[in-house]
Chain A
Amino acid sequence: MVIEQLTITTTPKYNFPQENINLELPRTFLELSIQSIKTSEKTFNLNNLLNFQQLTITTLENLNCLSAKVIKLKPKPDNSIVSAIDVSSIKLGETSTGFLLAIRGAIVWKQNVNYRYLRIGPFLFHVTEENKQRIYNVLRKAYFNFAHQESKAALNITSTPNIMQMQSRLTGLLEKWLQMTLTTAAKNTLILWDGSLTVGTPETPTRVVESILQTARKRENMIMAFSKATRLRLMSHRITDLLVKSRPPCLLELKGYSNVNKPIRLLGEIYVARLAKGNCTFRLDIDKEIPSEQRIEAVEKLLGNDIVSHGYPETLRLAHILCTFTANEVIAMQRFIAKKAGLNIVSQPNIRRILFGPYGKGEVDNF
């Protein structure tokens, strides 16, 4: 039997699906990054900022489900390439005009028995009220060929991003860029995303995700989005709890649910996946436009070609691990900024501590 495989060309530098991929450094991202950290600020504060490393945003909705069907799965090993994308960001400190942000993305793919990765970043940004709009629009234009203002109507966005939302917006931008790049480059590949196929939020622009899914279909790629947490419920039960008694690997197919309010749309068919023993079940979104049998087959291929430990694909787990910032990386980035931008690192007094002493725990200070 001849198994159809992707043409993987080995470049002098990266053994990565090359067709149509533009692996030039995200130059605009880099330029903006460098420009933004050349600040006139003298100091930046560290206080409780390291506690909230933000992961990829998963949009959660309340749905009314009508029926559910359990589908048994059989692993199908066929040497399909499995790849995964994840992006992580973290605040490094505050300045008097804004905050310093680090973003990094990772693509992991499994070839034969080896995992390989491509890590992009970290990119550092000094986001202020003054530059937030420029940063956001320049990046959107550079990556998705339309600026924020132009696409406002399509996205139903009525205002420019709040500075507090800039972290998730910029993270979303890099993530979408990576997803688009990988989808365009790969062929006949299982592509795993962290999150869902819910669109219509500022971080998940409908046109962009639709475009990515369309490209994926053309290139016979299969996009599967795994959510670690969901608020979806069926008859008052959280959907991820419904598969506890079913023998893994299996899927719970949810049928007949009503769509959510505009502009939010669900571009994926929603499943609850219990892919391995243990109590871990996940929400799994697969492109709606793909026939049902192919969706199920894609999950079976995933089971046959990737390690699925605790019901979660190893490629996606590695992507998450590789993009996440460790504490020593945070220290290194702070040192980098201090050296390159001449900023002094100072510890901001903790107001809660000052006011409440040992009782001043709990929520972190925000700006």
Chain B
Amino acid sequence: MKIYKKEGNVLQILSFPEDNIEKGDYILIEDSKARKALIAQVIDIQFANIPGMLEELLRSCPDGGNIHGEDFDPLEIAPYITYIQDSRLLICKIRASIKNEYLSPSKSWLPSRSHSIVKKLPVSRLLEMIKAKGKLPIVLGETKESSPLIIDASSLDGRLNIITGKKETGKSHLSKLLVLSLVHYGATVVIFDLNGEYAGLGYSSDGARNEYYHRIHVLTPGKNFKLMLGQLDLRVMLNILVHALRLPGTSAREFRHIWKSLKERKELSLRALGETIRNWHCNIHIRDALFSRYYALVNSGLFTDNPSEASDIEQYLFKTREKGGAVVINLRDTSSIDRQIMVEYTLGKLVELLSNWRLKAVFLFAEEAHLYLRETYWDDIVTRMRHFGIFTTFITNQPDSIRSGIYRQADNIFLFNFTNENDLEAVSRAARVDAETVKSIARDLPPHHCLVLGKAVKDFPMVVKVKRLNVKTMGGTRLFFKEKN
């Protein structure tokens, strides 16, 4: 391999087929005289612009390819010709430089074109150099060279992460892997499980209980998870009414009075709330508005007056404090409003517990968050809630459903295959990597292969084949022709 050109942050390297370089691979350019080296990543591979190539190709198919023949090539020069024809140009992004064996993000230095040695840098060696493994290793899977790609769990700590890719590329699989790894290291994880996919985390694929069984708590609203009104803080209830049930401001003010009145009388129950609204002296329109929300709460099935039916998310979260664990909020088969009620409640409760330091920190995994997260929460989650200790991982197949501001602040992005230009455009707004890398590599990722960007890989984008997980598959797509096939 030889350096051909450098333009800005892009190096063009001349390569030949036997170099066996693919997109995503790393190249080390060592300039022994300068005692420095550059690390660059291949983001695209093109054919080298060899003079006479067009003539060569045209000659091989004159008049529609209707010519065949033989070559007497006694000196066997033909392999040299095909070798030249197959030469490639590696388009590489400079990622770092090495001086005195220390990595530096500086890219201002230019190696010699004539005497630099250009060679492939194995990912395993790069991982050693960047010390990505850390003290809490998480094996994400294998690189192309079959070496394990290990990240440090602490690289997810206090971070905003995004897992995105088109359908059936392995997003949830990676998400489950991260959840179990965090649980393994004693972390508290809360999952908004839109499709009931995480309910099987406590079981291995053959249906037997796995080592995490006692640490995975699946809460299905209206089934094994109901609340008494007394468990709720007024602020949380108002958030539910205003944001999930769209209660106007004046009605909310009346509700506040009703709630306080009931609380003072220690009669905070669903039945008493209905009675009080009925008898409350207020404008008839306000009463109607309050009633409609009241019935929405009743019909959600989430609330109960029966103490034996009631449960508290607190008790599950506290269970995870010792050895770690995950609370899975199963939002499958719940209506949009019920989902929002549950999310408002959970987030309100988390903020309350974290601000009182009753919980240390929570890793929140939110699948397709745009379906239940209100507008104002996006900024809240990435800024304010992070300070409380909620470290969010968004999982989505619709990258444009996440605001560009979120991408810019994302610390880690786990990117699966996208072919659609608009999707790639949305993801390419991530600040931790250049748009060309995202667009070029993500487009060609096979299923279950993920481009890891950000702090987890010390800003050296890496492609990994996500490892198989021995976990019971849940939430599969229901198929009409399943049995016939």
Contact = CB atoms under 8 A, between A and B. Distances in A.
Interface of A: 13-14, 25, 30, 33-34, 108, 113-124, 307, 314, 318, 321-322, 326-333, 335-336
Given A327-B50, A328-B56, A116 B75 contact: no
B62 interface: yes
Contacts of B53: 326, 328
B51 A328 contact: yes
Contacts of A322: 59, 69
Contact of A118 (B56, B66, B72, B80): B72
Given A120-B72, A123-B74, A331 B84 contact: yes
Contacts of B73: 119, 121-122
Contact of A335 (B51, B74, B84): B84
A326 B69 contact: no
B77 A122 contact: yes
A329 B81 contact: yes
Given A30-B74, A329-B52, A119 B69 contact: yes
A22 B425 CA distance: 65
Contacts of A124: 75, 77
A328 B85 contact: yes
Nearest to B81: A332
Nearest to A340: B75
A328 B83 CA distance: 10
- Chain B: number of interface residues, binned into ranges: 20 to 34
- Give the 6 A-B residue pairs with the shortest CB-CB distance, closest first: A327-B52, A117-B69, A326-B52, A327-B51, A332-B80, A332-B81
Given A328-B52, A329-B81, A335-B84, A119 B70 contact: yes
B68 interface: yes
A80 B51 CA distance: 38
B77 A336 contact: yes
Interface string B258-281: 000000000000000000000000
Interface in B42-73: 50-53, 55-56, 59, 62-63, 66-73
B64 to A, nearest CB: 11
Interface centre among B62, B68, B80 (most CB of A within 10 A): B80
Given A114-B67, A333-B80, A328 B50 contact: yes
B394 to A, nearest CB: 49
B69 A118 contact: yes
B67 A326 contact: no
A332 B77 contact: yes
Given A25-B72, A327-B52, A333 B77 contact: yes
B50 A318 contact: no
Given A121-B72, A329-B52, A335 B67 contact: no
A116 B74 CA distance: 20
Interface centre among A13, A116, A326, A330 (most CB of B within 10 A): A326
Contacts of B84: 328-329, 331-332, 335
A341 B238 CA distance: 87
Contacts of A120: 72
B77 A331 contact: no
20 contacts: A108-B69, A114-B68, A115-B67, A116-B69, A117-B67, A119-B70, A122-B73, A122-B75, A318-B62, A322-B59, A326-B56, A327-B51, A328-B56, A329-B56, A329-B77, A329-B84, A331-B50, A332-B83, A332-B84, A333-B80
A116 B59 contact: no
A108 B71 CA distance: 12
Contacts of A114: 66-68
Contacts of B71: 119
A287 B59 CA distance: 31
A326 B72 contact: no
Given A122-B77, A331-B84, 20 more contacts: A25-B74, A30-B75, A33-B74, A108-B69, A114-B66, A115-B66, A118-B70, A121-B72, A121-B73, A124-B75, A314-B63, A318-B67, A321-B62, A327-B50, A327-B51, A331-B50, A333-B80, A335-B83, A336-B75, A336-B77
A114 B53 CA distance: 25
